Structure 1
């Protein structure tokens, strides 16, 4: 049985979400604040984390950042705030998706299932893919590790998926629409800024100068291309 950690301070909301998730066959643990949620996320074994943004003691941004320093499991960020800057910041810190309150519990369950299925497909292919070596960059799909000049750099789940997809198709130009659908899925929450944020974060981690990238090139008016 898949286990979800639900970090939400509103008891009414968290119990409703828990009930819908349990009916759908998931085991759910709950944390009432950011500090407890961070502690449970790092000490426990979870298949996905649902993380509210506005939390007591430690906000969702800080919790997401600290989780991402240790783990790459899917994180679904939830908030009543609709500002683009919050979406960008959440995705930039490593959240895999962002859903705005109010939403139907069935929509939350659908998002959870979609992210788990995609993650299972990606980690369930051990031994079927070859490493990619391009100049000083090495990508290991079996272990989902990335090395730059033999030094490991930590990528989030979606950052790795996006980098691996581009590197697997060198010199091919992909539109932001195509990349979003391929990596996040057609029914995922977000828009093209999601792709832009993740490309920027990847460049910061693998490029010696992210302002003058040697791996992922922007093709203005079209999209992105990995230079093989």
Structure 2
């Protein structure tokens, strides 16, 4: 199935260039030039959103995308190295954040890691396609978690966290280790996003036992 990418980019020339490179990957790309057109299309469900975070409505657009489906990953782009926006974006659940100017190939590489995580060394990579985590089953190929044959709706970061825990059952992981594994080595911001992510996972997976290692990090009960 051909991945569908929605691209929100205000600069028309840059949008055309990014569209060209994304389409070269064989992806179906739909571009939007302003917040209004982006908002009108959030009800659709692409495989990836690339969202311009410089507009006035980007937070609203992001929330509407996630209210429609929390499993759609979002890459935020911005002309400014704004720490507040970066941290806010990750706290809201974006999969990646990239600051302009950037080469189109860099965006393609980051998008490819999200759309094809098993081919590029992501934290979900493993020899098996389904792994058990307490009473839950992680379907690594479809990036889904199931309990009693029912699917739990998770964001991309929430799923990556669970995959990290599945690979390190019973081992205490520091906040820094979780940041590096889930957000990447280039993440810049507060480690508070880890605590927020843990809270969201605990709220959704109410029977999952995650120990807090005070002053250090977290450990999944094996």
Question: TM-score, with normalisation over the residues of structure 1?
Answer: 0.74
Question: Contact 1:144–1:160 (CA<8 Å) still a contact in 2?
Answer: yes
> What CA RMSD, in Å, does the superposition of the two structures yield over aligned residues?
3.4
Q: Which residues in structure 2 correspond to 1:83-102 (within 5 Å)? A: 83-102=82-101
1:224 aligns with one of 192, 209, 218:
218
Q: Which residue number corresponds to residue 28 of structure 2? A: 27
Gaps of 5+ in 2: none
8 Å Cα contact 1:49-1:74 kept in structure 2: yes
- Partner residue in 2 for 1:50: 50
Q: TM-score, normalised by structure 2?
A: 0.76
Structure 1: 4+ residue segments shifted above 6 A = 119-125
Q: CA, structure 1 residues 77+47, in 2 after alignment: closer, same or farther (shift >3 Å)?
A: same
Residues 70/168 of structure 1: CA separation in 2 closer, same or farther (3 Å cut)? farther
SS at 1:51 equivalent: strand
Find the aligned partners of 2:33 and 2:107 in 1 and give their Cα distance: 19
CA contact (8 A) 2:53 2:76 kept: yes
Equivalent of residue 140 in structure 1, options 137, 142, 164 = 137
Match of residue 18 from structure 1:
19
Segments of 5+ residues of structure 1 without an aligned counterpart are 209-213
Number of equivalent positions: 210
Asked if the contact 2:175–2:194 (Cα under 8 Å) also holds between the matched residues in 1, the reply is no
From the superposition, tell whether residues 141 and 152 of structure 1 become closer, same or farther in structure 2 (CA, over 3 Å).
closer
After TM superposition, the structure 1 stretch with the greater mean CA deviation from structure 2, 1-10 or 71-80, is 1-10
